[in-house]
Amino acid sequence: MRRTQKDTEDCARTVTRRGLMMGGAMTAMVIALGTRLRYLQVDQADEFRLLAEENRINIRLIPPRRGLIYDRNGKIIAENEQNYRVVITREDAGDVDLVLARLASLIPMTPEELEETAAAVKKHSAFVPVIVKDRLVWDDFSKVAINAPALPGVVPEVGLSRQYPRDADFAHVVGYVGPVSEKDLEATENPDPVLRLPKFQIGKIGVEKWMEDTLRGTAGTKKIEVNHVGRVMRELERQEGDPGEDIRLTIDADVQNFAQARLGEESAAAVVMDVTNGDIICIASSPSFDPNLFVRGISHTDYAALTEHDHRPLANKAVSGAYPPGSTFKMVTALAALESGAITEAHRVSCPGFIEIGGRKFHCWSRRGHGTVGLTRSLTESCDVFYYDVAQRVGIDQIAETGRKLGLGHRHDIPMSAITEGTMPDKAWKADRYKEDWRIGDTINASIGQGYVLTSPLQLAVMAARIASGRAVAPRLLRMVGTFEVPVAEAPLLDIPPEVLQAVRHGMHEVVNGDRGTGKSSRIVEPTMVMAGKTGTSQVRNITAAERARGVVSNDQLPWKRRDHALFVAFAPYDAPRYAVSVVVEHGGGGSTAAAPIARDILLRAMSPGLPPLSAYPASQRGRIETMLKELPLRDPATGAAPESSRA
């Protein structure tokens, strides 16, 4: 069929339209390709040239700023200080041994340090920077920076390092940081990549450890350009991480410092709690140590001095020490008997100096005895025989139940290391632990805080706080995390009748305020600060019948480790309790002579805006107390600076 003119024109128009569409598409593609080529070859030329030349752009982690730690009033306890350091990256260094040798000619490095650094460089991935030397002085840091062209892979940088300005005061509470170990990594599921940075530090004990995730923060990243010899030319891009959260503790740094100074070089511990909300105002263990030694790398000599010291300065005695509570436990036995109805306040016991049970004599501390004794006098003069009698009436299971109500035999949940549960024994406990039946002699021993009963200074402070407040107040150490205040709910009332608690409180009042009280020499005479307390002395050795016959050897005539532990618990003010305190002095002898004076002074410091007022002490003691207070190595309350005599 012959094509018409119209058909030909229509076909031409169709071909032309298709051609134009195809041409336009091809033109657009050419323009797009040209634009992309220009972007890659011109705009991105420098970056791709660097990438082509031995991958000269590196991405590295930026360690986050560690959160700071403050006391309840905002005084700094743990901070970060500027730290000049030098790092090396294996993939940029080439001959690592040669570079390290050059570096050692510029800054002081021991053969051991060189060997450790070389081993660390080989151990980690080639792109991971390894710290060669930190805490450099400015002159050494400058030498490295000036000689950087001859030190491929070596970068001088400014970092942050942990610093504890109050050194020994908070060593056991806050703890310290140290390099991440293989054990640390194994204990962490899906560890943060920043933990694998050589010499990155994390909390090892105390608050630093238990609040690690909060304090650490998250790492940032940076993209850097290096030249063909490994020298960093510039930083191309930086993405900051998130700093760690700051933490504010419940502890008062000035009271803590006073407690540490007052304990001196004794092997001892002291705890002060606010009975209204459980805030720990101070928690001291003595002797202490400087945690900065561990951050900077403690020497073998310094570490040996700490581990070989017979007073165990590394041990946190306030929470990990487990001691027989001695006569401070008598309140538990009394409360158990009164609450159960086994005795009333009118109950009386005759004390001839001992009680005989099953053919065995259980002695009172007073060889002559106390005569007829009631509840108040039994606490005032600490008569053992009264409690031997009462314990048989009430039984160990009721005593143990009351002890647990008061916080004994329980691991209190605060962010500190090695917190002991102590031992609050009963019949089931002994059957499970020793596969033996409970005996009456076990009850007799437990009634005065001996035998299987073990408590920590923290638990004893909780016990005193609960007796004082009548509430199941729990200890707390964190006041704020970041900008959020840690909430504290009102503690529930103890399941102990108020009149029963008051009867025991009255006995504690007479211990330090009565004419025959075992703690009367440590009384507080200021009416608004009157203290109630209980002395305790716990034996660490058995006294044989032969020794009793010829006379018990006094503590001061025994080797230190065979002397009795001295204890004291108290609360004040008596009429409106605010603070509770416990003090344990290892092998200190008597609670009335070794522990009670310390506890009184610390309690007065907690109740005062400054040093304990001399007017709170009996007039006959004020001269001696004034001298003692002046000689205490206390920090400046305003600046936190250590006394001149303790500065190194």
Give the residue among 101, 174, 40 at the shortest CA–CA distance from 478: 174
Would you give the distance in Å from CA 330 to the centre of its chain? 30
Q: Is 282 exposed, middle or buried (0-12, 13-18, 19+ CB in 10 A)?
A: buried
- Per-residue pLDDT reduced to its tens digit, 124-144: 777 777 888 877 888 888 888
Torsion of CA 380, 385, 387, 392, to 10 degrees: -160
Strand 532-538 and strand 232-239: pairing? unpaired
> Same domain, yes or no, for 243 and 360?
no
> Same domain, yes or no, for 431 and 346?
yes
Is 39 within the bounds of a domain? no
The residues assigned a catalytic role are 327
> Same domain, yes or no, for 565 and 425?
yes
Angle between helices 396-405 and 440-447 in degrees, nearest 10: 30
- pLDDT for 144: 83
Is 4 within the bounds of a domain? no
Is 25 within the bounds of a domain? no
Instruction: Give the CATH number for residue 502.
Output: 3.40.710.10
Cβ 484 vs Cβ 273: under 8 Å: no
Contacts of 336 (CB under 8 A, 6+ apart): 342, 394, 398, 399, 401, 402, 403
Give the residue among 323, 319, 402, 387 at the shortest CA–CA distance from 355: 387
- pLDDT for 647: 44
Give the residue among 620, 616, 622 at the shortest CA–CA distance from 604: 616
Instruction: Give the CATH number for residue 167.
Output: 3.90.1310.10
Is 304 within the bounds of a domain? no
- Per-residue pLDDT reduced to its tens digit, 601-630: 999 999 999 999 999 999 999 999 999 999
> Same domain, yes or no, for 177 and 100?
yes
Give the residue among 169, 162, 161 at the shortest CA–CA distance from 75: 169
Q: Identify residue 119 by its one-letter amino acid code.
A: A
Is 28 within the bounds of a domain? no
Report the distance separating Cα 147 and Cα 153, nearest Å.
12
> Same domain, yes or no, for 206 and 267?
no
**Mean pLDDT value across residues 359-380:** 93
**Mean pLDDT value across residues 458-475:** 98
Question: What is the reported pTM?
Answer: 0.85
Q: Is the pLDDT of residue 648 over 50?
A: no
Is 417 within the bounds of a domain? yes
Strand 484-485 and strand 565-572: pairing? unpaired
> Same domain, yes or no, for 278 and 202?
no
Report the distance separating Cα 186 and Cα 551, nearest Å.
57
Pick from 110-114, 252-256, 552-556: least confident: 552-556
- Scanning the structure block, which residue is given the tokens 């053969």? 111
- pLDDT for 10: 63
> Same domain, yes or no, for 479 and 620?
yes
> Same domain, yes or no, for 266 and 390?
yes
Report the distance separating Cα 617 and Cα 524, nearest Å.
6
Contacts of 611 (CB under 8 A, 6+ apart): 258, 605, 629
Which tokens belong to 215?
A: 């304090």
**Mean pLDDT value across residues 362-391:** 95
Residue 301 belongs to what H/E stretch?
A: helix 300-307
- Per-residue pLDDT reduced to its tens digit, 256-313: 999 999 999 999 999 999 999 999 999 999 999 999 999 877 888 999 999 999 999 9
Is 488 within the bounds of a domain? yes
Is 12 within the bounds of a domain? no
Given pLDDT bands bounded at 50, 70 and 90, which one contains residue 179?
confident
> Same domain, yes or no, for 223 and 342?
no
Residue 78 belongs to what H/E stretch?
A: strand 76-88
DSSP string, 408-430: TT-----S-SS----B---HHHH
Tell me which residue range forms the domain holding 136. 60-249
> Same domain, yes or no, for 213 and 361?
no
* Number of independent structural domains in the chain: 2
- Per-residue pLDDT reduced to its tens digit, 43-102: 666 665 555 554 467 677 778 899 999 999 999 999 998 888 888 888 777 788 888 888
Would you give the distance in Å from CA 532 to the centre of its chain? 29
> Same domain, yes or no, for 216 and 351?
no
- Phi first, then psi: what are they for 19, rounded to 5°? -65, -45
> Same domain, yes or no, for 291 and 198?
no
